[in-house]
């Protein structure tokens, strides 16, 4: 009796990057995997949307920063048009704003271009199976950003008062609340920013983008 080995089901890929050398490199590396098939390429977000409509790939690998239409705008357009689209962002950007916007827009994953071939292949397969793939560093950063988002509007105002060197009494007067309430907000800010004192909280506020130098008086 003859026994035939079944061929693995191909994971069809669309590569999106404004640099042809990057696309060529990705195609060469990923073509080494027997279950990967490169369906096509696109050099900007607008072309990515058009190619997606034409090819219906299983997974899209897309850069964040591109001309004409960037990767985040293309991601939003694709997710609106095809809610089940599986899009893995592969980028050099490590900006908090980009990470948050990508995840909020529904990306299936976010990887730096410095990723190893093994992890990239693993991410593609994981995303194709319906999962979301993030590096441990990105997961940690998202957790930190989520914690920062939990600062209330009043806590932001108190932190700004701390930045200006105001005492609890001065902050209470400026905000029209009791000094006791200010003390409670200061304690909450210190806890959420994992700071030992007011000076460290202000420093972390600048570091995390909650405070800006341009806002200083």
Q: What is the pLDDT of residue 194?
A: 84
Q: What is the pLDDT of residue 217?
A: 47
Per-residue pLDDT tens digits of the chain, which is 217 residues long: 444 455 567 999 999 999 999 999 999 999 999 999 999 999 999 999 999 999 999 999 999 989 889 999 999 999 999 999 999 999 887 777 788 888 888 999 999 988 999 999 999 999 999 999 998 888 888 877 776 667 888 998 999 999 999 999 999 999 999 999 999 999 999 988 888 999 999 998 888 778 877 555 4
Question: pTM for the full model?
Answer: 0.68
Q: Give the CATH architecture of domain 11-135.
A: 3-Layer(aba) Sandwich (3.40)
E strand map for 51-167: 59-62, 87-91, 109-112, 133-134
DSSP-assigned letters across all residues of 67-89: SSS-HHHHHHHHHHH-TT--EEE
For residue 151, the 8-state DSSP code is S
For 150-212, the fitting CATH number among 1.10.10.10, 2.40.10.10, 3.90.1300.10, 3.10.50.40 is 1.10.10.10
- Say how far apart CA 79 and CA 198 lie, in whole Å: 43
Based on C-alpha coordinates, what's the Rg of the chain? 23
Q: What is the pLDDT of residue 94?
A: 72
Domain ranges of the chain: 11-135, 150-212
């Amino acid at each position: 009796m003859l026994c035939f080995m079944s061929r693995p089901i191909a994971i069809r890929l669309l590569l999106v990057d404004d640099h042809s050398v990057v696309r060529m490199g990705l195609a060469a590396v990923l073509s080494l995997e027997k279950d990967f098939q490169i369906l096509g390429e696109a050099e900007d977000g607008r072309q990515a949307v058009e190619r997606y409509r034409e090819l219906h790939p299983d997974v899209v690998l897309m850069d964040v920063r591109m001309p004409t239409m960037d990767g985040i705008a293309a991601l939003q357009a694709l997710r609106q048009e095809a809610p089940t689209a599986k899009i893995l962002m592969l980028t050099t950007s490590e900006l908090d704003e980009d990470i948050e916007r990508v995840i909020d827009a529904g990306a299936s994953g976010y990887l730096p271009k410095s990723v190893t071939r093994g992890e990239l292949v693993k991410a593609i397969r994981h995303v194709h199976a319906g999962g979301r793939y993030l590096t441990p560093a990105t997961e940690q950063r998202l957790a930190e950003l989520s914690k920062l988002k939990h600062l209330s509007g009043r806590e932001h105002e108190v932190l700004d008062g701390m930045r200006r060197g105001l005492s609890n009494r001065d902050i209470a007067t400026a905000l029209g609340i009791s000094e006791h309430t200010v003390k409670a907000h200061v304690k909450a800010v210190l806890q959420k920013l994992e700071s030992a004192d007011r000076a460290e909280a202000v420093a972390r506020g600048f570091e995390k983008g909650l405070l800006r130098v341009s806002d200083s008086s």
